[in-house]
Structure 1
Amino acid sequence: MFRTAIECGLELELELAYRKGTLENYAELRPGSKLFLNISASLLGSDKHQEGFTEELLKELDIPMSDIVIELSEQHPFDNYGLTVAAVEHYRKMGFAIAIDDLGSGYSGLKLWNELRPEYVKIDMHFISSVDRDPVKKEFVRSICNIAQAMHCMVIGEGVERMEELRALQQLGVNIGQGYFLGRPTSAPKAEVDKSFILVDQLDTSAVKVMDSGDTAFSLLRSSPTLDPDDKIGYVSKLFRQNPELTTIPVLVDGKPIGVVLKSELLEMFSTQYGRALYENKPVRKMLSQKVLVVESSTTLSRVSQIVTNQDEFALKQDIIITQDGVYLGMGSVRDLLKRITELKIRNARYANPLTLLPGNVPINREIDMLLRQLIDFRVAYFDLNNFKPYNDCYGYSKGDQVIRLMGELLNRHAQGNNNFVGHIGGDDFVVIFRSADWQECCDRIISEFDDQVRAFYSPQDLQREGIEALDRNGNPTFFPLLGLAIGVVHPDASRCDSHNEVAELATLAKKEAKALPGSALFISRRRGRDDHIDPLS
């Protein structure tokens, strides 16, 4: 229809009619989600374009502008009609978000992305189709996700038609998708997402950092030739000659590994008299070996290391097959595994707090950014000790360090596990990133146990008067109650927080509210984004 309209010079009229009908339908449905409006970039700069048409229609239909995303297609030349970045910024200042459609399919690519700085970018379905099987497409999508992270941009994968593609996209960092696998077009789309598509929480809990794939077998992934059971053994010999670094080539049926051909066994076979002549035209299935380690891509490197070291010496020399739900992704080597394990140990030691050995600021920030990109639901609890400075001044740093270690032990005991993340910012400041549903009960237990155990760090005289005499920040003698624990909890909205910086701002505000309360206290903030202006709720 649009091609015909272009031929008749009526593209603008058709687009405005479609826009009016779409908005009227959206107003009727009121789905409580965003509407992406496809708009031809070239028509925005056309003399015939009716300025204010969309704005007036939204007011008439009582649709907030924040609900609308202007979607510009890369398939159309961006500046044929003199359209400038200022024209797009005009829409953004009105309250619309901007999306680039079909990235990778057309004219301007990264230049357009850089100029417009859109809130969303949609990867063309060409790069999504079979992304689970194509290492080149994987690298393209991974690169796009890295750029998007730096530009605070959400990535959407178009044309998701298979579960394997969805899993691969989640591993690569794409967590918004569209396609027939997720749902076909309908006049009454569901507002609720099918829970079976939310795959992150279904992964092995030991695999935690799904997006931080540097900690999983996914980081070992490298492309490798594969074989069919009916391929000839002579062809295998040729592959080994062309790829001298290979020790193993997987044999697949319907994308799943059924065994491998080992270079050592092939060389042994061909070394015998008439070996090559006897076997080179035989099918691969004649020398299929099961001497191979197969691991899921989400398996943690520490777990892979345990599995490898439990194998015999022969297996230590072989490559590792990496799968996703049993479907072949690629190969990994034991050498790369050892290298990654060493890197992770050095990294963790560098960023750990020396007093509690808990992760410090860098891994805390990395974890929050990963959860935001993954759109994973989480809460951040900021723990801070009340009256810690005067206690330190009175009892000395050695006693103060013992209190801090107590705090670390309590958090490890009550909050560790269930995909939660315990971190030590520094001094008497701690953070727990909760993904478990029992976060509030956990905080209550920590407060109760802290109030009970901290009394052991005071003299009988100070316990009797329930506090100490010390100088305040202005140097005046002041009475300070016993150490207490202030906990501020926030529930960030991943769609409204760009990075850990905004989450930290919310958590700091919540902690201040908690410290303003008497004694040990838990404050639960209702703020979910930096732009919220809500009365506090404790």
Structure 2
Amino acid sequence: MLSKSDLFVLFDALLETHALEYEFQPIADIGRASVLGYEALMRGPLGSALRSPDDLLRVAKSAGRMADLEREACLGAISAFGRVGVPGKLFLNLSGSMIEHFARDNGRQMLDRAQQAGLSPGRLVLELTEHERVEDVEGLQAAMKTLAALGVTLALDDFGDGRSSLRLWVQLKPQIVKLDKYFVRGLQGDSRKIEVIRSVLRLAEVLATPLVAEGIEDAAELAVLRDLGCHYAQGYCIGRPTAAPDVTLPDAVVNVLTSGKISVLPALARPQRIGHSVDRLKVSAPAVEPQLASSELFRIFGANPDLHAVAVVDGTVPLGLVNRRDFIEKYIQPFHRELYSKRPVVQFMNASPICAERSSPLDSLINVLTGDDQRYLRDGIIVTEDGRYAGIATGESLVRAVTELRIEAARHANPLTLLPGNIPLTEHIGRLLHASVSFAACYFDLNNFKPFNDLYGYWRGDEMIKLAAKIVAHHCNPTQDFVGHVGGDDFVVLFQSENWADRCERIVEQFNCEARSLFDPRELQQGGFHSEDRRGFPSFFPLTTIAAGEVSVSPGQFRHPEEVASAAAAAKKIAKLAPSGVHRACLAKVIALREATA
């Protein structure tokens, strides 16, 4: 291992002999499925102790020669790129201070080197790569104005990593912004990253700045970025750095960029929205001191007929809750008024009420609904703010609000199977229709599920639904086929897999076989079961099976997601009556269904 002084000597020799080497990583134009340009990456000589760029930067910083390394790397990369002779733009990593350095002679040093290499200024893109905060923004703006007048482009690198800030984006007005690779890695399975990229793309549209997504490592990430509308892409999936880069993209990359298939995006977990906190339940109500006479509390209830309870407070600190009905029933009994009218209200209060901060999410009160002591639902809840009394809430309002939340949540994701619900399904159909791609909408429904659920109970009914969800999802391609659970025992799959019809048949076959395990031997032996029909009359039902209504959708065949859903539901109704349990709607019927719903 070389000593520090030996590394300094080696470093000086590399710069003096212009011995740095360069590799170039392609950047893809997603819309055109072509190469936009290449990012230059410096290397030390092969076999050298300073081969890696990290070692070069570390030694340069230690020796106080960062500026010398940057200048040599920039000019050397221009010369090397000219020798390679490929078309497209050249992306060069520079600090703000080095950009200002090259602007001091009106870009002469940089442009002379470009001219010698056969490159026009319009092919140079300076990536502002800051490892320290940009202090002199105005100086950098002036430098870029000088270079931009010559045709040189500015790019903001690593946006989102904490150093490349939104403020720099707005102030410097770069022509290109490169998104930090953190937001790209694994985004096909991370709904939060997808929403971040959507937001950045909306910002890029407002600021008229195309976006380069960095760090793309596999085709799934690239496909999602394509569908989100990202402009450019860079990463090992596009191409690795090499001294002699190709002028075209690999066939596998072109196939992804030109594919007519739409990526299946993960569902976004629903956030706790404003208005879904305990404060939503709060009503203003008078509070009383613990020594207040019971006769005075009786008067308060009489003057406030809608008041279901009154909080007892010591100053602003809640002590208990007096339920209206319980208090009045005791107070009006014979002789109780005479006995208790002058006694303090603490004798009638529940000394251990439920207290909830107004900013707390409603879900924090679920235990009130599911607990054994239903007194809390009857008495209500004390609402506080920073521990101080703020109002009360009724158990009825809590039940109503939580029910509304559960219904809304189920529209986004089914609570039993966790599969996407109606809203994500509609959104995905809309994406498919907007992209004018072919797909199949298949509606799966269980036959005789309600009487099965009535006979065996909800637990086994839930097991039946979870079995259906598992089998449907198992036979789908998660990157191409969208599986939705639209309520109860109904599932909808939006297939882009070419063999979708075979997949549907396998789903029906496997479910009809495995569902038999959820029946008792007696029902299996007799081939069905006794239960009540929808009118409440005893009836005999065949064993539960699954039906699949299939609609093949061609570009331009439907205008709205609701039309697709209606056509699939109609096909499902026919499938439930078919011996095979599968019905594929023909084109004429699909058109008729579309016209009927127009």
TM-score over 0.5 for the pair: no
**TM-score (normalizing by structure 1):** 0.45
Greater Rg over alpha carbons, structure: 2
